Structure 1
């Protein structure tokens, strides 16, 4: 039987994420800048935030999923869909499907500065108005793949046979990886997936072209070809990073504020419904 050809992915670009102070209680910087819809499809944007209680108010979303990863601190969340809340701690993830519409807020606990990453994933046209859904993924409870000097926490998708039960409308792989100095490991991905790596701690060598990346940097993955692919990593010291990759939606994106739809008319409808009180289905 002929072996399947696996594309060894390179790193296409690398950039330092810079946080800017928006107020005395909020600093933020783009990991993925909005507007590059085709380049990062299905991902719309990712923001790194350091914030305290009062930085954000209650706000709506429609047409997207948000994936919030807590680096440090604690975030209390409340949503209109379930009428309930909860607390996310370091290493935890909330996977929120806004779909037809939610009104929610994320608030650091009193006196706490939260440090988080929030990713927006586009929903395809047939899923824009799907029922809202919340999945709270505790870092201590997600499936784990372990090999020598490396631990992969599988928040979504799979890693070398370890499969996450997280429900996806768009196929997405999300893994948190911790590696010891000198360890080498790789993550497999469908070749069609687009993706990126964000380094939380340490320094490593990434990709077939052996790019050095350090904490606070985002690395865009190169093309994966038409079949299977993998991205290789070697840790030059203790290393911690997140890898996100997903299947492109390949649809028109119209984004205004917290709403992402396919047409201007759908955006106007979302704002109208929110203003007149008919937003929540």
Structure 2
């Protein structure tokens, strides 16, 4: 249902994600390639990865958050913040706040392949060095909004009257939508948010300028009035599955190098010094 005074957004840009072979056991598609920090704000990059055990080694992060969404398969993970690990399955999500620094890894079991999305979200300057935090969210436990022919699983933020209890340092909405052919839904968002959609299955029509997109394509949402609520209309041409990310821009300087994202070059150098001196908690060392 359309809310009074809600501005319905158009689609600003559409592009196709091209899968690249990284190794015999790893392919990757850059949905949001790294670099245009101001354009993506508060997001940094989004990769679609398909890989087997051994594709990634243990690695550190500081100054940002990762949102890992399992499209298909299973993955085991562990982290240095707690020394614990766990298992994520299809439809599950992990929201990791690296903050002051973690050393972690994600890996499928022997002989298995996992298909996932990992989004890097920038942390506000005042939260760059917060204590690391993990939120593991299982699809079966997530709040769901259901309309005629549409199911929206709310991992972060809200959709209509359905609100998640996910903890955020930078406000982020993340929903998964599954729409039956011919159905339509409006996802509400604060007018100040930047946002985008990635189509996982099927095809649909998006925005008030009725842009058509299909599996493997991403679309960037047009802007709205920062002082009002906005919405994006999604209609399914055939059965449609997609994810939508939107967030409040931080409007702060971004200096990124390797796995670290800070505000200045000196902070990046300090991150490398701290990591090499063992300041990041690592149960393996």
Q: TM-score, normalised by structure 1?
A: 0.98
Unaligned regions of 5+ residues in structure 2, if any?
A: none
Name the structure 2 match of 1:229.
230
2:150–2:178 contact (8 Å) kept in structure 1? yes
| Structure-1 separation of matches of 2:279 and 2:178 | 45
Tell me the SS of whatever aligns to 1:209.
coil
Tell me the SS of whatever aligns to 1:140.
helix
Name the structure 2 match of 1:52.
52
Runs of 4+ in 1 over 6 A off after TM superposition: none
| Structure-2 separation of matches of 1:200 and 1:183 | 17
| Structure-1 separation of matches of 2:82 and 2:216 | 35
- Report how far residue 5 of structure 1 moved: 2.1
Name the structure 2 match of 1:136.
136
CA shift digits 1:109-129 (9 cap, x unpaired): 211111000000000110000
- Report how far residue 224 of structure 1 moved: 1.6
- Report how far residue 4 of structure 1 moved: 4.9
- Which residues of 2 match residues 77-96 of structure 1 at below 5 A? 77-96=77-96
Name the structure 1 match of 2:181.
181
Name the structure 2 match of 1:7.
7
- Report how far residue 90 of structure 1 moved: 0.6
1:62–1:258 contact (8 Å) kept in structure 2? yes
1:34–1:44 contact (8 Å) kept in structure 2? yes
The answer to whether residue 156 in structure 2 is matched with residue 156 in structure 1 is: yes
1:270–1:279 contact (8 Å) kept in structure 2? no
Name the structure 1 match of 2:34.
34
2:70–2:93 contact (8 Å) kept in structure 1? yes
| Structure-2 separation of matches of 1:121 and 1:222 | 20
Tell me the SS of whatever aligns to 1:31.
strand
| Structure-2 separation of matches of 1:121 and 1:209 | 28
1:100–1:280 contact (8 Å) kept in structure 2? no
CA shift digits 1:150-208 (9 cap, x unpaired): 00000000110100010000110000000000001010000000010000000000000
- Report how far residue 279 of structure 1 moved: 2.9
2:79–2:85 contact (8 Å) kept in structure 1? yes
Tell me the SS of whatever aligns to 2:139.
coil
| Structure-1 separation of matches of 2:176 and 2:70 | 12
Name the structure 2 match of 1:114.
114
Name the structure 1 match of 2:243.
242
| Structure-2 separation of matches of 1:212 and 1:122 | 30
- Report how far residue 280 of structure 1 moved: 3.4
| Structure-2 separation of matches of 1:42 and 1:4 | 28
Unaligned regions of 5+ residues in structure 1, if any?
A: none
| Structure-2 separation of matches of 1:205 and 1:165 | 30
- Number of residue pairs matched by the alignment: 279
Q: TM-score, normalised by structure 2?
A: 0.96
2:103–2:280 contact (8 Å) kept in structure 1? no
